């Protein structure tokens, strides 16, 4: 028997930001993404995916506003993998201006291409490499992955191929548990993830979990 699941996406509430501006550890005032599809799997290695949300013509949505993107039905169980297809260009807005070069400006949205030159795999198995323009890519979140930073050759755009993988997927710190008629809130914690990097402003990978 399939159970109802309402798929919600939210950023955790921001903590009060520092009285003194910083070059790192800056909170986002908004974080806009364009989401195409969301699928889940009980398998930490992301096999047997079940699609619970799909939109071929999405618009940019502010995750800080806790939007409900869609709903679907999945069997009761513990889901250890979440795959999210989205546009590779994301749009964060800093909640304060950075020191140093001041490249992060309070209230000024900037664009960041998170997959330029990066290999990816989509939910349907299609593979490719992100380009300089907007590309549809997939981010893989799994309890089998250990990485949270996306550095040193690690890619969040490929599913993990082994439990404990430090090179594929991002860590999903808590799985989605579906029991009875339930709703799940997918938490994207971007607190402190904006930082100044020379003349540019960057958004570091957030932390992911369900509640």
pLDDT at position 22: 66
Q: How many CA atoms lie within 13 A of 66 on its CB side?
A: 7
Can you list the positions of beta strands (E) in 64-151? 68-75, 77-79, 81-87, 89-94, 112-113, 119-121, 127-129, 136-142
Closest CA relative to residue 193, chosen from 80, 34, 64, 38: 64
pLDDT at position 152: 67
**Angle at 62 (CA atoms; ends 54, 171), nearest 5 degrees:** 70
Q: What is the DSSP string of 17-80?
A: PPSS--SS-BPEEEEEE-EEEEEEESSTT--S-EEEEE-SS---EEGGG--EEEEEEEESEEE-
The SS3 of residue 124 is coil
Q: Please say whether the beta carbons of 198 and 24 come within 8 A.
A: no
pLDDT at position 10: 44
pLDDT at position 130: 93
Low-confidence residues of the chain: pLDDT under 50: 1-21
The separation between the first and the last C-alpha atoms of the chain, rounded to the nearest angstrom, is 23
pLDDT at position 19: 33
pTM (two decimals): 0.84
pLDDT at position 175: 87
Q: How many Cβ atoms from other residues are within 10 Å of residue 73's Cβ?
A: 12
Q: Please say whether the beta carbons of 32 and 62 come within 8 A.
A: yes
Give me 179's structure tokens.
């029991």
Closest CA relative to residue 172, chosen from 102, 81, 38: 81
């Amino acid at each position: 028997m399939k159970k109802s699941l309402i798929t919600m996406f939210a950023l955790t509430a921001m903590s009060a930001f520092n009285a003194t501006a910083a070059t790192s550890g800056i909170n986002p005032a908004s974080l806009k993404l364009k989401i195409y599809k969301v699928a889940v799997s009980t398998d930490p290695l992301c096999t047997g995916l079940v699609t619970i949300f799909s939109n071929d013509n999405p618009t940019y949505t502010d995750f800080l506003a806790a939007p409900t993107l869609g709903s679907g039905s999945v069997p009761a169980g513990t889901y250890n993998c979440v795959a999210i297809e989205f546009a590779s260009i994301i749009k964060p807005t800093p909640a304060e201006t950075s020191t140093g070069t001041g490249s992060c400006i309070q209230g000024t949205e900037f664009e960041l291409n998170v997959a330029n030159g990066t290999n990816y795999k989509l939910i349907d198995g299609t593979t490719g490499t992100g380009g300089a323009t907007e590309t549809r890519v997939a981010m893989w979140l799994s309890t089998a992955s250990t990485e949270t930073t996306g550095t040193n050759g690690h890619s969040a755009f490929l599913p993990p191929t082994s439990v404990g993988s430090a090179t594929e997927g991002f860590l999903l710190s808590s799985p989605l548990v579906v029991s009875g008629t339930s709703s799940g809130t997918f938490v994207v914690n971007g607190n402190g993830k904006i930082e100044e990097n020379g003349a540019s402003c960057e958004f570091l990978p957030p932390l992911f979990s369900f509640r």
